[in-house]
Amino acid sequence: MVLGGPPPKTLITPALFSRPLPTPHTGRRGRQARTHQPGTPLPVWGVGRGREKRAGVRVLGGGDLPGAKFAPSPDTLREVPTLRQLLAEARPLLAATPFGAPPREALLLLGHVLGWSEAQVLARGETEVPEAAEARFRDLLARRLTGEPTAYLLGEREFWRRSFQVDSRVLIPRPETEHLVEEALAETLPDRPWILDVGAGSGILAVTLALEISGARVAATDLSAGALAVTAGNARRLGAAVRLVRTDLTAGLDLARFDLVVSNPPYIDPAEAPSLSPEVRDFEPALALFAPGSGDSVLARLFAECAALRPGVRLAVEIGFGQLGAARRHAESAGLEFLRVRNDYAGIPRVLVLQRR
C-alpha cells in the first residue's frame, strides 16, 4: 500500500449536482459535442501517430487496438481540469480586466455552473470538472472578460434579502436603491394603500413594497415591454400582486387614487456616457440609464405629473450625483414640497422625499 501523494481526484457525476448539468456547449470553443458521459468509463480512442497520456483520459495509438480503423477526434483529447485549476486559470484573467473584475467572481461563476456554494467549490478543489460544466464555465468567463456584468451571467441579484431575476432588459438592482425602500416603509399610510412605482425595471421596488406593506395594492409602469416581462416574472415567483402598465411615466393613470409614489427613474446625462464603466454603458439598457437631453429631464417630467396627486401624498424618488439642487427646483415648480433627503453609503444625496402641497 502506498501512503502519501496527492489526494485522490473525484469525478463529478450528475448525481452530485443539485440541478441537471448544462447541456454540452460547443459554440465559442469550436468543439464537437463529445459522447462520453461523466461517471461512465472513459473512452479509449486511437489517435494515429504517437502516443499521449493526458490527465483523466487514456489515449492510445491505433496499433493498440488490433484491426481497428479510427477516425481520430481531437475532441477526445481532453485535459480534465480540477476546480482548483480552473479557478487558478480564471482569477488572473479577471484581475487583469480594465474594469477590475474581482478575482472572486471566478468562484461565483464556477459555483453557478455546478449549482454549488462558493464554500463547496473551495472545499472540493481537487474535484474534476465534467466537460459540459467546464465549457459552460469558460463561456461565462469569456463573456465576463468582455465586461458583461456578473448579475446578467448569473441571472439574478439580491435586493432587500430577496433574489430577483435580471437580464439585459433591466437595470441591475443597486444597493443604494434599498434606501428608497427604507424611506417608503417609514411613511405612514392608510389601510390597503395604493402605491405606484414609476419605471419598474426588474420590479424590485414594486415587488418589495407589495410584500413588505401589509394590504398594499401596487401598480408599476415602464415604457419597456421587456422590463415589464421581467417584473411580471419576479412578482409571480416571489408571490407579489403587482398591476403592470406599459406607459410613459404615469400617462393614463389616475394619480389622485395613489397614496404613495416611488420611482428610480433614468437620471444619467447622455453626455456622461463616455465616462461610464463599459460594464454599465455597454450592457445595461440605455432606456434605464439615460434621461433624454439632460440628466434631470425625466425627474422634471415626473414631478410635473405628480402635481395631480392629492394634497399631502408623498413621492420618494432616487436622484443622481449632483442633482439635488436641480431636483429641488423642479419639485418646487411642480408644487411639491421638499421634506427630506437621504444620503447613500458614499454620502451622496440619493433619495428625495417630497409631498404634494
Ligand X SMILES: C[S@@+](CC[C@H](N)C(=O)[O-])C[C@H]1O[C@@H](n2cnc3c(N)ncnc32)[C@H](O)[C@@H]1O
**Positions in the binding site for ligand X (CB under 6 A):** 170-171, 173, 177, 199-202, 204-205, 221-224, 227, 248-249, 264-266, 287-288
CB of 56 to ligand X, least distance (A): 44
Backbone angles phi, psi at 179, to 5 degrees: -65, -30
Strand partners, 356: 336
CB-nearest residue to ligand X: 201
Region of residue 222 (phi > 0: left; psi between -120 and 50: alpha; otherwise: beta): beta
Report d(CA 154, CA 110) in Å as an integer.
10
The C-alpha angle 90, 93, 95, rounded to 5 degrees, equals 110
Contacts 24+ apart (CB under 8 A), 182-188: 182/342, 183/316, 183/340, 183/342, 183/351, 183/353, 184/209, 184/260, 184/262, 184/316, 185/209, 185/212, 185/213, 187/260, 187/314, 187/316
Is the Cβ of residue 69 or residue 161 nearer to ligand X in the bound state? 161
CB of 229 to ligand X, least distance (A): 11
Is the Cβ of residue 82 or residue 224 nearer to ligand X in the bound state? 224
Is the Cβ of residue 141 or residue 242 nearer to ligand X in the bound state? 242
Is the Cβ of residue 151 or residue 288 nearer to ligand X in the bound state? 288
The one-character DSSP state at 126 is T
Q: Which residue has the cell 488490433?
A: 66
CB of 285 to ligand X, least distance (A): 6
User: Do the Cβ atoms of 235 and 195 come closer than 8 Å?
Assistant: no
CB of 239 to ligand X, least distance (A): 19
CB of 171 to ligand X, least distance (A): 4
CB of 166 to ligand X, least distance (A): 9
Is the Cβ of residue 76 or residue 264 nearer to ligand X in the bound state? 264
Among 322, 310, 319, 308, CA closest to 342: 319
Cα–Cα distances in Å, from 182 out to 175, 187, 288? 12, 9, 22
Is the Cβ of residue 193 or residue 265 nearer to ligand X in the bound state? 265
CB of 209 to ligand X, least distance (A): 11
Q: What is the DSSP string of 51-114?
A: -EEETTEEEE-GGGSTT------GGG-----BHHHHHHHHHHHHHTSTT---TTHHHHHHHHHH
CB of 81 to ligand X, least distance (A): 37
Is the Cβ of residue 224 or residue 355 nearer to ligand X in the bound state? 224
Is the Cβ of residue 132 or residue 181 nearer to ligand X in the bound state? 181
Strand partners, 341: 352
